[in-house]
A and B are shown apart, each in its own frame.
Chain A
Amino acid sequence: MIYFLQQLLNGLATGAIYASLGLALVLIYRTTNIANFAQGEMATFSAFLTWQLTEFGLPIGWAILISLGLSLILGAVTYVLIVRPVQYKDEMTIIIVTLGLFLAYNSATGAIWGFMQKASPSPLPEQTWTFGTLRIGAELLAFVAVLVTISVGLYVLFQRTRLGMALRAAASNAQSAQLVGIPYTAMMTLGWGMAAALGSVSGALVASRLTLDPNMMGDVIIYAFAAAVVGGLSSYLGAVVGGIVVGVSQSFSTAYLPALGSDLQIIVPLLLIVAVLIVKPEGLFGKAVQVRV
Chain B
Amino acid sequence: MKVLDIKNFSAGYGRLRVLHNISLSVQEGSVAVLLGANGAGKTTTLRAISGLIKSEGSVLLDGQETRGLSPDRIARLGVAHAAEGRGTFTDLTVEDNLRVGAFRRTDKSEIAADIEKMYVLFPRLRERYQQKAGSLSGGEQQMLAVGRALMLRPRVLLLDEPSLGLAPVIINDLYDTLARVNKELRITMLIVEQNANLALQIADYAYVLESGVISLQGPAQEIASHDGVRAAYLGDI
Contacts and interface: CB of A to CB of B under 8 A. Distances in A.
Contacts of B75: 178-181
B126 interface: no
Given A180-B75, A180-B101, A173 B87 contact: yes
B130 interface: no
A181 B81 contact: no
A86 to B, nearest CB: 19
A173 B83 CA distance: 12
Given A165-B96, A166-B100, A169-B89, A178 B76 contact: no
A180 B88 contact: no
B72 to A, nearest CB: 5
Interface residues of A, number: 20
Given A173-B87, A173-B90, A176-B88, A166 B103 contact: yes
B83 A181 contact: no
A175 B100 CA distance: 13
Given A162-B103, A175-B52, A181 B76 contact: yes
A179 B73 CA distance: 9
A223 interface: no
A88 to B, nearest CB: 14
Interface in B67-111: 70-73, 75-76, 80-81, 83, 87-92, 96, 99-101, 103-104
Contacts of A181: 72-73, 75-76, 103-104, 152
Contact of B92 (A172, A183, A292): A172
Nearest to B81: A179
A168 interface: yes
Interface string B32-62: 0000000000000000001010000000000
Contacts of B71: 175, 178-179
B89 A172 contact: yes
Nearest to B91: A172
Which secondary structure characterizes the binding site on chain A? Answer: helix
Interface string A249-293: 000000000000000000000000000000000000001001010
Contacts of A180: 75, 80, 100-101, 103-104, 148, 152
Could you say which interface size class chain B belongs to? 20 to 34
A175 B72 CA distance: 9
Given A179-B83, A181-B152, A168 B103 contact: no
A236 interface: no
A199 to B, nearest CB: 25
A178 B70 contact: yes
B63 interface: no
B123 interface: no
A186 to B, nearest CB: 9
B218 interface: no
Interface string A162-192: 1001101100110111111111100000000
Contacts of A287: 91
Nearest to B134: A290
A183 B69 CA distance: 12
A166 B96 CA distance: 10
Contact of A175 (B73, B87, B134): B87
Contact of A173 (B72, B76, B88, B96): B88
Contacts of A173: 87-90
A290 B50 CA distance: 29
Given A172-B92, A175-B83, A183 B72 contact: yes
B97 to A, nearest CB: 8
Nearest to B79: A179
A179 B80 contact: yes
Contacts of B70: 178, 183
B225 to A, nearest CB: 35
Contacts of A182: 72, 100, 103
Choose among B72, B99, B134 the residue with the greatest number of A CB atoms under 10 Å from its CB.
Answer: B72
Given A180-B100, A182-B103, A172 B90 contact: yes
Contacts of A169: 89, 92, 100, 103
Contacts of B134: 290, 292
A166 B88 CA distance: 14
Interface in B134-148: 134, 148
Interface of B: 50, 52, 70-73, 75-76, 80-81, 83, 87-92, 96, 99-101, 103-104, 134, 148, 152
22 contacts: A165-B100, A166-B100, A166-B103, A168-B89, A169-B92, A172-B89, A173-B88, A175-B71, A176-B87, A176-B89, A177-B72, A178-B71, A179-B80, A179-B87, A180-B75, A180-B80, A180-B100, A181-B104, A182-B103, A183-B70, A183-B72, A292-B134
Given A166-B100, A172-B91, 17 more contacts: A162-B103, A165-B96, A165-B100, A168-B92, A175-B71, A176-B89, A177-B100, A178-B71, A178-B72, A179-B52, A179-B75, A180-B100, A180-B103, A180-B148, A181-B75, A181-B103, A287-B91
